[in-house]
Amino acid sequence: MLLQLARTTEPRGFRLVGEVDLSNVSTLSQALAHEIEAGGDLTLDLAGLAFMDSTGIQVIIQTARQLEGRGRLILLEPGDLVRRTLERVRLGQLANVEIVEDARDDRD
């Protein structure tokens, strides 16, 4: 399964469905680059993401760093594999990264 990226407006960001790896990570980084420029909080809905490799993690880390001082990077409902990977690289330690485990109440 390839990666599907859907832009979301409330909250502003993207919904990721499928798997992120070396083959399609540039699609993700290009989509994010535009939104990073605009500044403000950015939300990635990861509930439908079944896999993410270290190249995807790098894009997430870079996104958070580039947003520093201008907005938060909010990661919604990562699945088991993605959540464990984010924990392993201690992504939550970045000051402007927020991992939301159960976002059902926040969504429309």
Partner 1 sequence: MIGTDGPVVERFRSHPSVLYHIRQFVREHATRCSLDSEMTNDLLLAVSEACANSMLHTASPTIRVSWTLRGNCVEVDVADDGVFKRRAPMVDGAGHGIALMTALVDELTIREGTERRPGTLVRLVKCRDD
CB–CB of 53/23 below 8 Å?
no
Question: ∠59-61-62 over CA atoms, to 5°?
Answer: 65
Determine which residue in the list 7, 33, 48, 84 makes contact with partner 1, applying CB under 8 A: 84
Per CB under 8 A, the segment of 15-23, 31-39, 70-78, 96-104 that binds partner 1 is 15-23
Q: Establish if 93 lies at the interface with partner 1 (CB under 8 A).
A: no
Q: Establish if 21 lies at the interface with partner 1 (CB under 8 A).
A: yes
Number of Cβ atoms within 10 Å of the Cβ of 77: 19
DSSP state of 29: H
Give the integer Cα–Cα distance in Å for 45 and 49: 8
Determine which residue in the list 33, 39, 40, 54 makes contact with partner 1, applying CB under 8 A: 54
Q: Which residues bind partner 1 (CB under 8 A)?
A: 1-2, 19, 21-23, 51, 53-55, 57-58, 62, 80-81, 84-85, 88-89
